[in-house]
Amino acid sequence: MGNKSEIKLLGTAASPFANRVQFALNLKSMKYEYIEENLACKSELLIKSNPVHKKVPVLLHADKPPICESQIIVEYLDEIRPDLYQLLPSVSLDRANCRFWAAYIDNKFFPLYEELRQTLNKAGQEAIKEQMIEATQQLEEAFIKSSNGKTYFGGDQVGYLDVILGCFIRWTQHVDELNDFNKFDEVRILELAKWAKCIASHEALKSVTPGKETLESFFGLINIYRPPYK
């Protein structure tokens, strides 16, 4: 992919979903132009490009209409350039397994973090933390099966699930710290804890991971627009 502006990505530095797409683009060494969005004041381009959700990330590829939803964008990138660092496995069953866990990560695991942020009462918080531990244990089992003794979900190489889950490490770490909580209590969730350290230090992800200040400022923003209420 020679021409940098052939691919544009609308994102925001603190968004793990935007980070996810950047992680994939970096792994595939695909050049792209990154456009930072201010979610408190969304650009016309963003609203026009994603009228349904008005969210980042959005991928603009050449003269095609926009592609939205981070998992879908990652699959698209993998399909247009399977020769560059293939993320999804070739076997149908393995692909189905990836999509199953990707759905679990986005629909069951990560929403717990938003729920925790919105819950102020102690009993509610404890209940959510229990669910987080359970979800992390599920992911631990998935990791053990998928990695087959190797470093990543994808085996020796970073694969689709490493990208799908890896982008959340910094964010979830931040929430854990705010809540004085360590779900990776290493006695219980040993392998995933090792993997988390490893993936967080991968250059393709590290280079786009937001710093503490960026995250704090973003959390400040969310607390205004979607304040805690439970």
Partner 1 sequence: MADEVKLYGFPGSPYVSRVTTALNLKGIKYEFVAEDLSNKSADLLKYNPVHKKVPVLVHNGKPISESLVIVEYIDDAWKGVPILPQDTYEKAQARFWAKFIDDKCTPAIFKAITNHGEEQAVAEAQEQLQFLENELNVKGKKFFGGDNINLVDIAATFIAYWLGAAEEALGIKVLSKDKFPKITEWCGNYINCQVVKDDLVPREAIVAFFRKRFGNA
Instruction: List the structure tokens of 72.
Output: 């879908």
- Min dist CB 107 to partner 1, Å, is 8
Q: Which helix (H) or strand (E) holds 130?
A: helix 122-147
* Between 37 and 69, CB nearer to partner 1: 69
* Between 59 and 208, CB nearer to partner 1: 59
- Min dist CB 224 to partner 1, Å, is 23
- Min dist CB 109 to partner 1, Å, is 11
Please give the single-letter amino acid code of residue 130: E
Q: What is the secondary structure of 28-87 as a DSSP string?
A: TT---EEEE--TTS--HHHHHH-TTT--S-EEEETTSPPEESHHHHHHHHHHH-TTSS--
Rounded to an integer, what distance in angstroms lies between the CA atom of residue 50 and that of residue 15? 16
* Between 62 and 123, CB nearer to partner 1: 62
- Min dist CB 159 to partner 1, Å, is 17
Rounded to an integer, what distance in angstroms lies between the CA atom of residue 137 and that of residue 192? 9
Residue from 100, 191, 202, 207 nearest 157 by CA: 202
Rounded to an integer, what distance in angstroms lies between the CA atom of residue 136 and that of residue 140? 6
* Between 68 and 204, CB nearer to partner 1: 68
- Min dist CB 92 to partner 1, Å, is 4
Pairing mode, strands 58-61 and 33-36:
unpaired
* Between 42 and 81, CB nearer to partner 1: 81
* Between 27 and 135, CB nearer to partner 1: 135
User: Up-side HSE of residue 53: CA atoms within 13 Å toward CB?
Assistant: 9
* Between 96 and 120, CB nearer to partner 1: 96
- Min dist CB 221 to partner 1, Å, is 23
Instruction: List the structure tokens of 58.
Output: 């959005």
- Min dist CB 130 to partner 1, Å, is 17
List residues near partner 1 by CB under 8 A. Answer: 52-53, 61, 64, 67-69, 72-73, 75-76, 79-80, 92-93, 95-97, 99-100, 103-104, 138
